[in-house]
Amino acid sequence: MLEEYGSIKLANIAPESPDEIHQENADYVRVAMPASAEFEIAMQDKGFYWVDRTLHACVHLVKIPDNLGKYVRLPIEESCHYKEDILRIAASSFTYDRRFHVSPHCDKQIATMVLHGWIQKLHEVLICKYKDQVIGFLALRETANNTLFVHLAAVDEKFRLTGAAMALYAKACLLAKERRYKKLEGHISSQNTAVMNIYATLGAVFSHPVDIFLKK
């Protein structure tokens, strides 16, 4: 799939093996592929850089703790506003996130352009506040009639000890269950231990490791 962010063209593809990769008319190519040492060597031979490994996380909502609401200790609302606050928090949080840093070597200018494109497409988002200040957000997207997906989420670094991240994920689970969804899913970097711990607290099952490669 070809994505455009200003003057940047990004080919975002998910083949099952390196043999399925074809030349793309793009400035950058981002490949998400099942994790394999053999594939990693083949991708390096093709000039790609390995940049991350992600995991699929799935929370079966029927199994979430009955007392999950205890984690929602801060006010959270659904809103289609606060885009500037969301961009500010996201830009400072995703300094190395390979969804936005599409150059093999991180380029802040390009990443800001890609991130801005993502945020402009957001609709209603869960917003967490502390003393009327927006300190975190979580955006959900329906991927199946019984599944919600955590599309994007972040908390201002200065407020991470407030429990805002756990509050947002707990609220997302409670809303999803209330709206009769069966699963809450997400893709997370294996380097993001903080979010992995949140998913683990929610009883998530981790599976499907995927390696991310980039090429200019």
Is the model's pLDDT at 133 over the cut of 90?
yes
pLDDT (tens digit per residue) in 164-201:
999 999 999 999 999 999 999 999 999 899 999 999 99
Rounded Cα distance, 12 and 3, in Å: 7
pLDDT (tens digit per residue) in 45-62:
999 999 999 999 999 999
Is the model's pLDDT at 23 over the cut of 70?
no
Write down the residue that tokens 């997370």 correspond to.
Answer: 188
152: confidence class by pLDDT, cuts 50, 70, 90: very high
Q: Which of 117, 50, 55 is nearest to 83 (CA)?
A: 117
Rounded Cα distance, 186 and 64, in Å: 16
In this prediction, residues 76-93 reach a mean pLDDT of: 94
Is the model's pLDDT at 105 over the cut of 80?
yes
Is this structure's pTM higher than 0.75?
yes
More confident residue, 2 or 146: 146
What structural domains does the chain harbor?
56-208 (3.40.630.30)
Average pLDDT, the chain: 93
pLDDT (tens digit per residue) in 3-20:
888 888 889 999 999 998
In this prediction, residues 95-107 reach a mean pLDDT of: 86
